[in-house]
Homo-oligomer: A and B are copies of this chain.
Amino acid sequence: MNNPTLKEIAAQLGISITTVSKSLKGYSDVSEKTKKAVIELAQKLHYTPNSFAVNLRTKESKTIGLIIPTLVHDFFSNVIRGILEEAEKRDYLVIILQSNEKLEFEKKQIDLLLNKRVDGILMSLSNETGDFEHLKSIIAHNTPLVLFDKIAKLVSCSKVTINDKKAAYDAVSYLIKRGYKKIAHFRGSYLPQNAIDRFLGYKKALEDNGIPYDSSLVFVCDNNTDFEDGYENAKKVIDEHPEIDAIFAVTDLVAIGIIKYFNETGISIPKQIAVLGFSNWFMSSVISPKLSTIDQPGFEIGRRSASILFDEINLKKKNLPVIFQSIELETSIIEREST
């Protein structure tokens, strides 16, 4: 089954390609009669426009690119769902690439998407990403870019995040209100903005509540294997600081690693030590004890990011100025059994 072209339809009806094209696109300067004949034949032949030709002509691909650190991740899966939903509404397709938390890959993926001439790019940065030259090349190509979740404050483009600092501040304040006093923090790597902000929120909450900040209670989880990071550092914290009464983890997966270690060693949660996660993964509601955590609206982050990107694509098409937005979505504390 060969794909029919405008040319073939035109030939069969004995009219010009132009008229066929106009008929199919609903132009008004075609007689009802010819229009009808064209549409009928087109349907009969299952005509669909050759997207390669359309792309070339219109310089649009009707495709956007998405680069995320990793796919196997509840949060990102939900982000993708949100993005796909928005894209579908607008008849856009989405090319998905993983950076595997590597800057080197991230650069490569950007080049791939730019060469493919996608109409826009959505990104969450890798943990390794400390400089942003490669992002500037996107902007230099005049390709709309929206960063979400793991963003770079210094890059000028729209951003969709939660207020990580505030969320962490509220989380730790909540722990303090519940009576916990010796609160450890299992933080993320040093580069990602959200890890930094969560750490700062933790610190500020302590200080504002008259609890001195103690850097020896902060443990870094930067092996990109959150779960094991949590497990190993739980071991360490018990060794070095058996007196703690709570842990605020940068991620549910880290928290689940902690829970596993505590369950294995008979440390009772939350009686001996409370555990508070971050993100509200599905898993956190089925583990025992059920994990208290911060709800981070992944689906909504995806939806908003995509929606903003499409707006920018449209503005650009109309040669209108784009005003970059920085959206911060609301989070909330989910109280379960671990705190």
Contacts and interface: CB of A to CB of B under 8 A. Distances in A.
Interface of A: 1, 3, 48-53, 55-56, 59, 61, 63, 71-74, 77-78, 80-81, 84, 91, 93-98, 112, 114-117, 140-142, 227, 256, 259-260, 263, 282-283, 286-288
B93 A116 contact: yes
A254 B20 CA distance: 54
Contact of A141 (B1, B71, B112, B288): B1
Contacts of A142: 1
B93 A94 contact: no
Contacts of A95: 63, 93-96
Contact of A71 (B52, B77, B227, B288): B77
Contact of A98 (B50, B84, B97, B114): B84
A51 B115 contact: yes
Contacts of A98: 81, 84
Contacts of A77: 71-73, 77
Contact of A52 (B61, B84, B287): B61
B52 A56 contact: yes
Contacts of A1: 140-142
B287 A263 contact: no
Given A81-B71, A84-B98, A115 B48 contact: yes
A52 B141 CA distance: 16
Given A1-B140, A48-B115, A96-B96, 11 more contacts: A1-B141, A3-B141, A51-B116, A55-B55, A73-B77, A91-B112, A93-B97, A227-B286, A256-B286, A263-B288, A287-B287
A80 B76 CA distance: 13
A84 B52 CA distance: 23
A229 B73 CA distance: 23
A1 B142 CA distance: 7
A78 B72 CA distance: 7
